[in-house]
Amino acid sequence: MAYVVVKEEPARRLEGEQALTFLASRGIGYQQWDVSKVPAELRTFGKLDEDEQRRLLATWGDQIDRLMRSNDYKTADVLAVSDETVPNLDAVLDKFRPEHYHTEDEVRFVISGHGMFGIHQDQPDERTFEVHVGPGDLLMVPQGTWHWFDLKEDRCIQCVRLFQDMSGWTPYYRTAEMPAARP
């Protein structure tokens, strides 16, 4: 299950119900899905072909369909990232480490590996926090929310991504006129 680190003095780590309540109060969607039913051959940090992606997505067919219908998502795919499968991984991650937002929700369901979403909310209390995700965690960062992403120590993640429109996933970075709020 995901945990939250609230960046204040001193930093606080929230787990379980406390983390869920905190995320809900900030408008961040969270669900936990079962990953134990994923066939071993589909748990990979390598690129899956279209048939393998369809098989993997079918594991959560009803859950994905409900989420897509209720939020007008049109596309689902599977992304796998690791040092072995992505050349120049740090250069690729450098695109996601600066604070940015998207014009549609960022929805990620982690099948294996680990990641960290940093989130800065300008309102109501300018709170900055990190959501640490792992297998089974589905996180929904609402459109227009300032955030950033990085891998954890294992430097790999396999996840399902949901989109309303791929063009809505373009990152808009903070500028000099909008200084980054990251600590």
Domains and CATH numbers, the chain: 3-172 (2.60.120.10)
Q: How far is residue 114 from each of residues 9, 41, 110, measured CA to CA in Å?
A: 26, 19, 7
**pLDDT number for residue 181:** 54
DSSP calls for 2-15: -EEEE-SSSPEEE-
The one-digit pLDDT tens for each residue of the chain (183 residues) are 999 999 887 889 999 999 999 999 999 999 999 999 999 889 888 888 999 999 999 999 999 999 999 999 999 999 999 998 899 999 999 999 999 999 999 999 999 999 999 999 876 677 899 999 999 999 999 999 999 999 999 999 999 999 998 776 788 898 766 655 554
Task: Note if the pTM is more than 0.85.
Answer: yes
Token output for 81: 């990232």
d(CA 67, CA 75): 11
**pLDDT number for residue 21:** 96
Residue keyed to tokens 């459109």: 143
Distance of CA 138 to the CA centre of its chain: 7
**pLDDT number for residue 56:** 94
**pLDDT number for residue 180:** 53
- Cα angle 132, 49, 159 (rounded to 5 degrees) comes to 10
- 145 near 114, Cβ under 8 Å? no
- 22 near 4, Cβ under 8 Å? yes
